[in-house]
Amino acid sequence: MYMSVTFHHEPRRRSCWIVRWHGEPDENGKQRRYGRAFRHCHEAKAFFADKQALLNRGERRDPIIATLGELVVDFAEARLSGLSYASQRGYRNTTDQLLRYFGSTRKVRDIRRRDAEAFIATRKRCNGKPEALSTWSKARHLIHCRALFAAAVSWDYADENPFCASKDNGPSPLRLNPKGKPWQHITPDEFRRMLAEAPCVQRRAAYWLMYGCGLRAGEAYNLQVCHIDLAKRRVHVVNRAGTEDIPPFTVKAEGQSSESKERTVPIPEAALADLTAAMRPAFKSGGFIILTSDRFDVVQSNWQKSRAGKAWNGKFWRPWQNRDMINNVLRDTKVFLRRAGVELTAPFTLHSFRKSFAQNHAEAGTPPRTLAKLLGHANTRVTMQFYNRVTDANERAAGEAMDRLLAQKEQATNVS
């Protein structure tokens, strides 16, 4: 019976460092042989040592033969429970397409990189429209597939992740560089003009929190009086547990919706007047600064139905989300922008206020790490898109800088 792990070199092979071991003997006493090939000696030695240590501890010698359907079920139970409803829905969309493409009985170990490339390359729109699927949407599928098969590797369902591109530089659908979607940048002058058109103090306070403090719309509309310190000019974005009367609130970190990233953000001095005025009648709306009393009554009614498991959003029941505090705000905001004479030349959402906050800070020279902390980003990767975005102001500043440099050189030449 073969019980040890072997390590040897086969120079004629491209991946020439081979680690082999044998499985448990079957009823006839035969053992199946397994192996892993590596291009580099240090990688093979590390795997050899780890594998031998696992077998010495009594770990199973034969790999687990799992189907794609079993992997999807296990992944949903182990990894999706802590994610937000929207993230869970995105993962389920991807896994449903995986099951339709490969079949639920396909063995996980039989899915290779070639199969993964074909799957990503053939993704189409779910609504049947002829337009090609955007690079961003394909990238979301790729992220979900990588997470799914990374779990498979960690659970010994597979030896490697087929959705990770190889180290060579050849073209592959697994190397996606999604372009950011265009969005409308609201300048400070446009924001002031729009603010003058907003008739309600609660609405103006909401705009200040999104544009002046960089809060997400769900964060702003879940803010209560106890979370604002006017004396120190600070907004505290923190988690809130749900009660019988008030729905919960969970801070969402960028790219890590299962983690909470609480933070404190400074309030611009220009926003103090509207925030102070909005806080006075907040006792009529459960302490929520931006909600009117009428809207708070609707929120309470929807929350009671949600807790009871009844349909409350007009069609069906689903878990409560931060954005369920909001109603018709985007529609009204576009009206205010039109009245203020702001021409929308790119897609505009409430999130454009938060992006404009970030873009304004980037153009003002705020360090990326500082801005990432204000925005609640898990790292500066997402934040850097605002520093890399070329705007008219960036181009003018670059031209003016070059003019100053050339003028200085010309003056130095004339003096000499």
pTM for this entry: 0.73
Please tell me whether residues 236 and 340 are part of one structural domain: yes
Contacts of residue 167, defined as CB under 8 A and 6 or more positions apart, other chains included, come to none
Please tell me whether residues 129 and 85 are part of one structural domain: yes
Is the pLDDT at 257 greater than 50? The verdict is no
pLDDT tens sequence across 334-343: 999 999 999 9
163 inside domain: no
61 inside domain: no
pLDDT tens sequence across 98-157: 999 999 999 999 999 999 999 999 998 877 777 778 888 899 999 999 999 999 998 989
How many structural domains comprise the chain?
Answer: 3
Q: Which CATH number does the domain housing residue 269 bear?
A: 1.10.443.10
Q: What is the CB-side half-sphere exposure of residue 48 using CA atoms within 13 A?
A: 18
Tell me the CA distances in angstroms from 416 to 108, 379, 406, 407, 412, one per residue in order.
75, 50, 16, 14, 6
Q: How does DSSP classify residue 346?
A: S
What distance in Å separates the CA atoms of residue 146 and residue 348, rounded to the nearest whole number? 31
Q: Which of 56, 79, 97 is the last residue of a domain?
A: 56
Mean confidence (pLDDT) of the chain? 88
Please tell me whether residues 345 and 204 are part of one structural domain: yes
If you average pLDDT over residues 82-98, what whole number do you get? 89
Q: How confident is the model at residue 234 (pLDDT cuts 50, 70, 90)?
A: very high
What distance in Å separates the CA atoms of residue 308 and residue 27, rounded to the nearest whole number? 56
pLDDT tens sequence across 316-352: 888 898 989 999 999 999 999 999 999 999 999 999 9
160 inside domain: no
Q: Which of 54-58, 269-273, 284-288, 393-397 has the lowest mean pLDDT?
A: 393-397
| Number of C-beta neighbours around residue 296 at 10 A | 19
Question: What integer pLDDT is reported at residue 259 of this predicted model?
Answer: 47
Three-state DSSP string of 5-32: CEEEECCCCCCCEEEEEECCCCCCCCCC
Question: What integer pLDDT is reported at residue 162 of this predicted model?
Answer: 94
Question: What integer pLDDT is reported at residue 397 of this predicted model?
Answer: 64
Please tell me whether residues 74 and 42 are part of one structural domain: no
Question: What integer pLDDT is reported at residue 398 of this predicted model?
Answer: 64
379 inside domain: yes
Please tell me whether residues 83 and 38 are part of one structural domain: no
Q: Which residue has the tokens 């053939």?
A: 122
| Number of C-beta neighbours around residue 324 at 10 A | 19
338 inside domain: yes
If you average pLDDT over residues 67-83, what whole number do you get? 91
50 inside domain: yes
324 inside domain: yes
What distance in Å separates the CA atoms of residue 77 and residue 32, rounded to the nearest whole number? 32
Is the pLDDT at 256 greater than 60? The verdict is no
Domain housing 96: 68-154
Q: Which of 44-48, 198-202, 235-239, 407-411 has the lowest mean pLDDT?
A: 407-411
401 inside domain: no
Q: Which of 78-82, 267-271, 370-374 has the lowest mean pLDDT?
A: 78-82
Please tell me whether residues 203 and 272 are part of one structural domain: yes
| Number of C-beta neighbours around residue 311 at 10 A | 11
Sign of CA dihedral 160, 165, 167, 172: positive
Please tell me whether residues 45 and 87 are part of one structural domain: no
